[in-house]
A and B are shown apart, each in its own frame.
Chain A
């Protein structure tokens, strides 16, 4: 009954529309967000190491900076995991798995490394995380039939990254 009343109101006065919008024309997926997030994890590890090496006469300032680095590291580790999960869950199709049977294991590895980089400040773990996410990007672009190139990130830490060669 209420529906009919509101429908009549809409016809008479014109009710504003709220769009439950879908992607146009289809999902847009790009692993670069995950790659940058993984890179940010290593950057935070580097900043933490630098701060520690400098010494900390002002203990309060040191703790404050360290807390901020750790918070960002936590956030970006989870962000990278989230972005990879979205592509894996929403975009990857059985035919992609058939061509890249290692993909499930790789995603599992990324999830584990993404958790491990939160637990540790060990740079090598961060590098492993970036490498795994880059491998994921390489496979993603292959599913699109797009060749990739490897180049150093144009910002610290200047690690080698995988980019689509457009």
Chain B
């Protein structure tokens, strides 16, 4: 239902930074109601567990397009659409790493 994960990498910077924690919900209720701007965690065959922003929801393909928060982000331009089956959860709570 809930899972704690730690963020690595900077593709969501400055929103989410290396070392931040997130709590995701894995409940289908939340995953069926994805919207543009939601932060999701999903499984990718090549890159493992990724965290990205939903750019848009493709209703007819039952998938979403994802983006990062900066220009060098690995996103759906290379990953393609992310199927709902690959989505592990949606971020409910972001715990930022203290800056000092």
Contacts and interface: CB of A to CB of B under 8 A. Distances in A.
B51 to A, nearest CB: 4
B77 to A, nearest CB: 7
Contacts of A89: 71
A127 B12 CA distance: 39
Interface residues of B, number: 34
Interface in B53-77: 68, 70-74, 77
B7 A18 contact: yes
Nearest to A4: B98
B74 A15 contact: no
Nearest to B23: A6
A17 B95 contact: no
Contacts of B21: 2-3, 6-7, 10, 15
A21 B9 contact: yes
Interface in A66-86: 86
Interface in B27-44: 41
Interface string A25-39: 011100001000000
Contact of B7 (A7, A9, A20, A28): A20
A86 B4 CA distance: 33
Given A3-B21, A15-B4, A23 B78 contact: yes
Interface of A: 2-3, 6-7, 9-10, 15-24, 26-28, 33, 86, 89-90
8 contacts: A16-B3, A16-B5, A18-B8, A19-B48, A19-B49, A20-B18, A21-B74, A22-B70
